Structure 1
C-alpha cells in the first residue's frame, strides 16, 4: 500500500504552525519571516513535498541571507518612536532577504571607540544607527567602509564630515508652526525645555522655536528655558519641580523637546498647583502613547515611525547597490497635533 501524498497540512503539523503560514512560506510571501520560511522549506524537503522532493537541504539557499546590523546606545522602549521604526525597518529588509541583528553600544564602547563584542564587520553588509549621538564614535563607524545610515545624529554633526546617509524626522518647521500657534493665541512669553545638544533633532526643534519667536517679534528670555544636559533631567524624581521653582518668573507656555519631558513638566506644574493650560500651556514632540493618557491630553507632533523605518531601509539598500551615490540627508514629514494642553481659554 503506497503512502498518501504529503500535504501542506503535514508540514504545518510537523512544525506546529498553521496551514496558512506554511502555505505562505512556500509561496514566498513577504509577510513570513525568513527564519520561518527556511524552517518550512527544510521540512518540505525532508518530507519530500511536491517539487521539494528532489532538493537537498544543504542547497536550500543558493545565496546566503545578508546581514544588517542595528547599532544603538539605548534599546528603544515600546512607547519610544524607535520601536515602531525598527519594526518598519525589519519588515523592509527581510523582504529583500536580509537578517537584522541588534547590537548595544555601551558607554565603555563609546569612550574606548571600540565596536560591540558581538559585532563582526566582515559578516555585515550594512549598518543602521539609532540613538547614537556621539560624533567621534559615528566617525569610527563610517571609517569601516560599510554602507551606513544614521537615524538622527549628534547635535554638532557637520554633515560633510559624516560620510554616511542621514535620516531625520522633520523637526524645525513643525516646532516653528506649533510655537507660532501659541503666540497667535496670545502667549507673549515662551520657554523651551530640553537639552539642545542632546541630538540633532532636539537642536532643530530649538532652531524652530527661535525662528517662530523671531518671525513673530517675541523676545527670547533664556531665564525661562531649561537647557540642562539630558542626563540631569531625570536624575531625581523632583528635579524638574526644583528647576522650575528657580525661575524668577514662569513663561505662559513651554515648548518641550519631546513628550517624555513635557509629561514631566506637566507633573511638576501640577505639584506646584499651576493649571494647564489655564496658567501655562505645554506642548511636546513624538505623539507618544503618554501624550494621549496624561491629563489634559498633550499637544505634540506626530512622527511617522513605521515609514521612517522603511525609508531608512530603502536608503541603506540603495547604498549597498550603488556605493558611489552622493550621500543623502533626508527629512520625513511630521504633523503637529493640537490637544487640550495648549487650548486657548477665555
Structure 2
C-alpha cells in the first residue's frame, strides 16, 4: 500500500501553524521569523515533504546567531601574539554565525571578583580568555557554567580545576632546544629572564630551560637569572637588576621577545656586545625581533592556525558541553638569528621522557 502523500497541511497540523504560514516559510518569505522557518523546514525534512525528502537538516536550516565574549585584563596590541591569534579566531567564529564582544577586566574587577559591567552571562554562548592569569578570577569564570577556552592560562592552577579547555603554544621543547644549542656551542653560564609564575607559557619555558641545563650537568645559578614578580618588569627596574649582578651569564634565555629586547637595550647601553659578550634568545617572533640589531633568536608561533584551532575547540564545546576538557599544545619552531651568533645547528634528538 502506497504511503500517503505529505502536504503542507500535514506540516501545519503537526506544528499547530496555519497552512499559509507554513507555505510562506517553505518559500523563504521574509515576514516569517527565522525560528518559525527553521521549525517548518525541519518538520518538512522529517516528514519527507517533496524536495525536502533528501535534504540534510543541519546544512539547510539557517544558523542561529550567537554571542562569544572575549575576556581580557590586558588587550593584546599588534606585536602581542594574542592579537594575531584573535584574528584567526574571530574570522572562524564569524563564519559560524557568532558575534564577538570584547570585555576588559579592570584591576577593580579582579580585586572584587566582579564581572565587567557590560558582560551579561545570559546572552553569552561561549567565552574566550586571553591574558587572564588570576587564579580566583579564573575560578569565577569557570563557575559561570558557560563553555570557555583559555588561550594560555594561570601558571599554578591545575588544569582540571579550570573546568575549561586550554590552548597553548608548545613552550617547553622549543626553549629546551634553544638552550641546548647554546650549551652544545660552548655556553656554560646561562641565565633565564622572566617571571616563571606569570602564566603557564612562561612556566613551561622555564621548565625547558631547566631541563636543558640539568641534562648537561650545569647547575642552576639564580644569581644569573631575573625571575622576580613580573610587575617589576619595566626597563628601569631591569636595568637596576642587571647592574646588581656580580657577573653576567654568557647567554640569556628570555621568556618572550619584549623581555629579550629590553635586555639587549640595557646591555648595549653598558657597551656589552651581543652576541660576543652575551647571547640573547626570546620567544614569539614579534615584528620587533626581525628589526632589532642584531636580529633576535626567537621562537615562531603559528598564530592564525592557533586561533582557528581555538575557535574549533570552543564551538565544539558549545555543541558538546559534557565532553572531557582538553589542554592542547600547538607546535612552535625555534628561529636562530644573529643575537646568538654562529651556531652548529645539527638536528638535536628530543630529550628522553623520564618517569
* Counterpart for residue 248 of structure 1: 246
Alignment of 1:254-265 (within 5 A): 254-265=252-263
Alignment length, in residue pairs?
293
In 1: Cα distance, 2:34 partner to 2:155 partner? 48
Does structure 1 residue 319 correspond to structure 2 residue 317?
yes
In 1: Cα distance, 2:343 partner to 2:159 partner? 43
User: Greater CA radius of gyration, 1 or 2?
Assistant: 2
In 2: Cα distance, 1:327 partner to 1:268 partner? 43
* Counterpart for residue 173 of structure 2: 173
Query: 1:12-60 CA deviation, whole Å, 9 max, x = no partner?
Result: xxxxxxxxxxxxxxxxxxxxxxxxxxxxxxxxxxxxxxx98x5339659
In 1: Cα distance, 2:183 partner to 2:32 partner? 67
Q: TM-score, normalised by structure 2?
A: 0.80
* Counterpart for residue 217 of structure 1: 217
In 1: Cα distance, 2:158 partner to 2:237 partner? 33
Does structure 1 residue 303 correspond to structure 2 residue 301?
yes
* Counterpart for residue 227 of structure 1: 227
In 1: Cα distance, 2:32 partner to 2:221 partner? 69
Unaligned runs of 5+ in 2: 1-26, 39-62, 345-355
In 2: Cα distance, 1:193 partner to 1:260 partner? 11
Shift of 1:308: 1.0
Hey, which bits of structure 1, 4+ residues long, moved more than 3 A?
56-64
**Residues 181, 343 of structure 2: 8 Å contact kept:** no
In 2: Cα distance, 1:155 partner to 1:176 partner? 18
Give secondary structure in 1 for the equivalent of 2:70. strand
In 1: Cα distance, 2:30 partner to 2:163 partner? 44
* Counterpart for residue 21 of structure 1: none
* Counterpart for residue 276 of structure 2: 278
Shift of 1:344: 3.3
Does structure 1 residue 143 correspond to structure 2 residue 118?
no
**Residues 299, 342 of structure 1: 8 Å contact kept:** yes
* Counterpart for residue 160 of structure 1: 160
Query: 1:131-152 CA deviation, whole Å, 9 max, x = no partner?
Result: 0001110011010111111111
Give secondary structure in 1 for the equivalent of 2:198. coil
In 1: Cα distance, 2:236 partner to 2:328 partner? 38
**Residues 277, 344 of structure 1: 8 Å contact kept:** no
RMSD: 1.8
Q: TM-score, normalised by structure 1?
A: 0.82
Match of 2:328 among 283, 307, 330: 330
In 2: Cα distance, 1:146 partner to 1:80 partner? 27
Give secondary structure in 1 for the equivalent of 2:334. strand
Unaligned runs of 5+ in 1: 1-50
